[in-house]
Amino acid sequence: MKYDVIVIGGGAAGLTAALSASGQGARVLVLEGASRVGRKILASGNGRCNLANAGPARYFGGASLAGSVLKGCPVEAVLSFFHGLGLVTVEEEGGRIYPGCGQAAAVLDVLRAECGRRQVEIRCDQPVLGLEKTPWGFRAHTQQDAFEGRSAVAAFGGMAGGKLGHDGSPYALLTGLGHTLIAPRPALTQLTAEKGAVRGLSGLRLPARLTLCRGSQPLEAAQGEALFTDYGVSGVCAMQLSRRAGEMLKRGETPTLYMDFTPMLGLTKRVYDRVPAQDPFQQVALTAAYLQKRQRMLSGKDLLLGLAPRLLAERLKGQSVEALAQSLAAFPVQLTAVRGMEHAQVTAGGICGEEFSPDTLESRLCPGLFAAGEALDVDGDCGGYNLQFAFASGLTAGKWAAARKR
C-alpha cells in the first residue's frame, strides 16, 4: 500500500495530477470517494464540457495564485496535453473550448484511458476520511484501509453542484494539517427575484444584457441568454452576476437587476462576453423611438406582435409606448437571494491558496502536500475557466508531487 503519490479525488484536477505524476515515473494511487471518477466533467457545459478558454484569465478569490499557475501551465499547454491523449477540440464564441464531438464523455474517456495505459491505480468508493503526516510522507485513511504516499495531492473539489460536490468534510483533511479554510460560498448560481417581478414569465429565454445595480448605480453587467424561472433569473449571464449580488445581499443590500431585451429587437449588437457596466437606461430612448415608428404601421394592441415572445407581450399588454420602451430596455427585477450550493456551478472560497507555492502548488506549511482545483479558494467566470484551472493546477501539482519522491 505504498505509493509515490496519493491523489485524493478523481475529478478534473485529480486525474490530470495523477497523469502528470505518472508521466514522471511515479507510482500513483487515486482515491475517489464516489462510485466513479469525473462526474462533474460529465455534467459540465450541459454535457458538452467547456474545458478551457482561449481568452484572458478571469478568476476571483486566490486570483493571483491562479494567474501564476496559468502562467506556468497556459491554455496551450492544457490543450496540447489533451491533444496528446487524442482529444480533438474546437474553439467557439468567446474563446470557449469544447471537445470537437460535443460530448463531455470524450474528455473523461481520454483521461481514463491514459490512466489505464500508465497503470495509475484508481480506487473508487474510497472517500478519504483522514490524512496524517508521517516520517515517510503521508497516510490516507479510508473506511477500510490506510495508504502510504511519499507525497499527497488534495484534489477533492468543492461543495457546488449538489450531489456532484462534497459536504464540506474533506476540507478538514487540510485544516487538520494547519491550513486555513476561506468560507465556502456558492458562485455561478441562479438569482432569486421578488415574486411579482418574474410573474408569468417562467420558461422564457431571451437574449439580454443584464446590469446589476445598487439603486440605479450600475455595478456590473453581463450579456447572453437570460432564462426566467419560477424563482427568478438563470442563464450564463445571470450566473456571472451572482457573486456580486450574493456579496450585496450578505451586506443587507437589495440589488436591482435591470434587464435590457433590446438585443432581441436587433438594436444592440449581441455580444456574449462580460461587458463593463454602463447606464442601464441607455437604450430606453432608442427603444421608444423604434416603437413609435412601429406604431405608425401597427395598432397599439399589435405593437409587440412578432417582436416579443407571447409571454412577455402578455405581461406588458396595455402599457403606453413610453412604459413599453422602459420595460423592454430596462426591465427591473429586485433580487432577494442567490441560490445555494446545490444549484451553483462552482465554489467560491476553499483552502487558502496563499498557503501554497504559486510555482509548484506545494504547501508552505506541510512539505510534500499539494493541492489543485476547486478545493482551493480559486473560482473563475463561466466560459471554461474553472475546468481550465482544475486541469492546469492538476498538471502542475502532479509534476511537482512526483519530483518529491527523489
Ligand X SMILES: Cc1cc2nc3c(=O)[nH]c(=O)nc-3n(C[C@H](O)[C@H](O)[C@H](O)COP(=O)(O)OP(=O)(O)OC[C@H]3O[C@@H](n4cnc5c(N)ncnc54)[C@H](O)[C@@H]3O)c2cc1C
* By the rule CB under 6 A, 386 interacts with ligand X: yes
Rounded to 5 degrees, φ, ψ at 324 are -65, -45
135: its cell numbers: 516520517
Cβ atoms < 10 Å from Cβ of 278: 13
* By the rule CB under 6 A, 127 interacts with ligand X: yes
* By the rule CB under 6 A, 224 interacts with ligand X: no
* By the rule CB under 6 A, 166 interacts with ligand X: yes
Residues 346-365 that bind ligand X (CB under 6 A): 346
* By the rule CB under 6 A, 240 interacts with ligand X: no
Q: Which is nearer to ligand X, 99 or 384 (CB)?
A: 384
* By the rule CB under 6 A, 66 interacts with ligand X: no
Least gap, CB of 341 to ligand X (angstroms): 10
Q: Do 146 and 364 contact (CB within 8 A), yes or no?
A: no
CA gap 316, 298 in Å, rounded: 16
Classify residue 196 as exposed, middle or buried by CB count within 10 Å of its CB (0-12, 13-18, 19+). Answer: exposed
β-strand partners of 205: 227
Residue 106 DSSP label: H
59: its cell numbers: 478568476
Least gap, CB of 200 to ligand X (angstroms): 28
222: its cell numbers: 453581463
Q: Which is nearer to ligand X, 157 or 280 (CB)?
A: 157
Least gap, CB of 347 to ligand X (angstroms): 8
Among residues 6, 9, 220, 331, the one that binds ligand X under rule CB under 6 A: 9
Reduced to 3 states (helix: H, G, I; strand: E, B; else coil), residue 355 is: helix
Q: Which is nearer to ligand X, 353 or 373 (CB)?
A: 373
Torsion sign, CA atoms 370, 375, 377, 383: positive
β-strand partners of 220: 212
Residues 366-385 that bind ligand X (CB under 6 A): 373-375, 384-385
Least gap, CB of 16 to ligand X (angstroms): 8
Residues 128-157 that bind ligand X (CB under 6 A): 128, 155-157
Q: Which is nearer to ligand X, 13 or 402 (CB)?
A: 13
Least gap, CB of 114 to ligand X (angstroms): 16
Least gap, CB of 278 to ligand X (angstroms): 27
Q: Which is nearer to ligand X, 268 or 347 (CB)?
A: 347
Q: How much helix, strand and coil, in percent to the nearest 5, is found in the chain?
A: 35, 25, 35
Least gap, CB of 303 to ligand X (angstroms): 39
Q: Which of these ranges, 44-52, 74-82, 245-253, 298-306, lies near ligand X under the rule CB under 6 A?
A: 44-52
Q: Looking at this protein, which amino acid is placed at residue 105? A: A
Least gap, CB of 146 to ligand X (angstroms): 14
β-strand partners of 363: 356
Cβ atoms < 10 Å from Cβ of 90: 11
Cβ-proximal residue to ligand X, closest one = 11
* By the rule CB under 6 A, 234 interacts with ligand X: no
* By the rule CB under 6 A, 313 interacts with ligand X: no
Least gap, CB of 65 to ligand X (angstroms): 14
Cβ atoms < 10 Å from Cβ of 134: 11
* By the rule CB under 6 A, 57 interacts with ligand X: no
Q: Do 330 and 365 contact (CB within 8 A), yes or no?
A: no
* By the rule CB under 6 A, 170 interacts with ligand X: yes
* By the rule CB under 6 A, 20 interacts with ligand X: no
* By the rule CB under 6 A, 223 interacts with ligand X: no
Q: Do 157 and 40 contact (CB within 8 A), yes or no?
A: yes
Reduced to 3 states (helix: H, G, I; strand: E, B; else coil), residue 158 is: coil
Among residues 14, 62, 349, 398, the one that binds ligand X under rule CB under 6 A: 14
Size of the site for ligand X (CB under 6 A): 39
Q: Do 177 and 366 contact (CB within 8 A), yes or no?
A: yes
CA gap 219, 405 in Å, rounded: 49
Q: Which is nearer to ligand X, 126 or 262 (CB)?
A: 126
CA gap 92, 48 in Å, rounded: 12
Q: Looking at this protein, which amino acid is placed at residue 65? A: L
Residues within the interface to ligand X (CB under 6 A): 8-14, 31-34, 37, 39-40, 43-45, 49-50, 127-128, 155-157, 160-161, 164, 166, 170, 345-346, 373-375, 384-387, 390
